[in-house]
Amino acid sequence: MPQKNSRNGSEHESRHALSIQQKLELYYWMQLTRTYDNQMVAYWRQGRGLGGVFSQRGHEAISVGTGYALEPDDVVAPMHRDLGCYFVRGLTPRRVFAQMLGRATGVSGGRDVNLHGAGDMNLNIVGFISHLPHSLPVAVGVAMSFVYRKEKRVALSYVGDGSSSEGLFHESLNLAAVHKAPFVLIAENNQYAYSTPLHQQMPVENMADRAVAYGIPGLIVDGNDVEAVYAVTKEAVARARAGGGPTLIECKTMRMLGHAIHDGAEYVPRELLEAWEKRDPVVLFERRLLEQGIADEAEIDEIKHRCEVEVADAIEFAEQSPMPDPATVSDGVYAP
Ligand X SMILES: Cc1ncc(C[n+]2csc(CCOP(=O)(O)OP(=O)(O)O)c2C)c(N)n1
Among 26, 193, 295, 315, binds Mg ion (CB under 5 A): 193
Q: Does 131 bind ligand X (CB under 6 A)?
A: yes
Applying the rule CB under 5 A, the residues between 94 and 153 that interact with Mg ion are none
Q: Does 158 bind ligand X (CB under 6 A)?
A: no
In the complex, least distance from residue 235 CB atom to ligand X, rounded to whole angstroms: 24
Q: Taking the CA atoms of the chain, what radius of gyration do you get in angstroms?
A: 19
Q: How far apart are CA 163 and CA 191, in angstroms?
A: 12
Given ligand X, Mg ion, none, residue 131, with its beta carbon under 5 to 8 Å by kind, binds ligand X
Given ligand X, Mg ion, none, residue 130, with its beta carbon under 5 to 8 Å by kind, binds ligand X
Q: Which is nearer to ligand X, 78 or 93 (CB)?
A: 78
Among 13, 112, 161, 225, binds Mg ion (CB under 5 A): 161
DSSP per residue over 244-262, as a string? Answer: ---EEEEEE----S-SSTT
Asked if residues 77 and 145 have their Cβ atoms less than 8 Å apart, the reply is no
H helices present in 149-189, as ranges: 167-178
Query: 64 exposed, middle or buried (CB, 10 Å; 0-12, 13-18, 19+)?
Result: buried
For the chain, what is the total number of helices (H) and then of strands (E)? 11, 7
Given Mg ion, ligand X, none, residue 182, with its beta carbon under 5 to 8 Å by kind, binds none
Regarding beta strands 196-197 and 192-193, do their DSSP bridges make them parallel or antiparallel, or are they unpaired?
Answer: antiparallel
Among 125, 138, 187, 193, binds ligand X (CB under 6 A): 193
Q: Does 129 bind ligand X (CB under 6 A)?
A: no
Is 267 labeled as catalytic in the residue annotation? yes
Asked if residues 44 and 38 have their Cβ atoms less than 8 Å apart, the reply is no
Q: How far lies 106's CA from each of 32, 164, 319, in Å?
A: 18, 30, 11
Interacting stretch for ligand X, rule CB under 6 A, among 91-99, 160-168, 205-213, 322-330? Answer: 160-168
Q: Which is nearer to Mg ion, 114 or 190 (CB)?
A: 190
In the complex, least distance from residue 168 CB atom to ligand X, rounded to whole angstroms: 9
In the complex, least distance from residue 255 CB atom to ligand X, rounded to whole angstroms: 5
Q: Which is nearer to ligand X, 154 or 257 (CB)?
A: 257
Among 130, 209, 290, 306, binds ligand X (CB under 6 A): 130
In the complex, least distance from residue 320 CB atom to Mg ion, rounded to whole angstroms: 35
Given ligand X, Mg ion, none, residue 132, with its beta carbon under 5 to 8 Å by kind, binds ligand X
Q: How far apart are CA 56 and CA 60, in angstroms?
A: 7
Sign of the torsion formed by the C-alpha atoms of 198, 204, 209 and 211 = negative
- Closest C-alpha among 164, 177, 249 to residue 213: 177
Q: Which is nearer to Mg ion, 165 or 172 (CB)?
A: 165
Sequence-ordered list of residues with C-beta below 8 angstroms from that of 330, at least 6 positions apart, any chain: 336
Interacting stretch for ligand X, rule CB under 6 A, among 16-24, 173-181, 184-192, 278-286? Answer: 184-192
Considering the candidates 267, 270, 287, 306, report the single residue annotated as catalytic.
267
Cβ burial 243-259 (10 Å sphere, 16+ → b, else e): eebbbbbbbbbbbbbbb
Q: Does 160 bind Mg ion (CB under 5 A)?
A: yes
Considering the candidates 12, 34, 57, 255, report the single residue annotated as catalytic.
255
Among 160, 218, 245, 246, binds ligand X (CB under 6 A): 160
Applying the rule CB under 6 A, the residues between 47 and 86 that interact with ligand X are 81
Query: 70 exposed, middle or buried (CB, 10 Å; 0-12, 13-18, 19+)?
Result: buried
Q: How many residues does the chain have?
A: 336
Residue nearest to ligand X (CB): 160
Catalytic positions: 255, 259, 267
| Residues at the site binding ligand X, with contacts judged by CB under 6 A | 81, 130-132, 160-163, 188, 190, 192-194, 255, 259
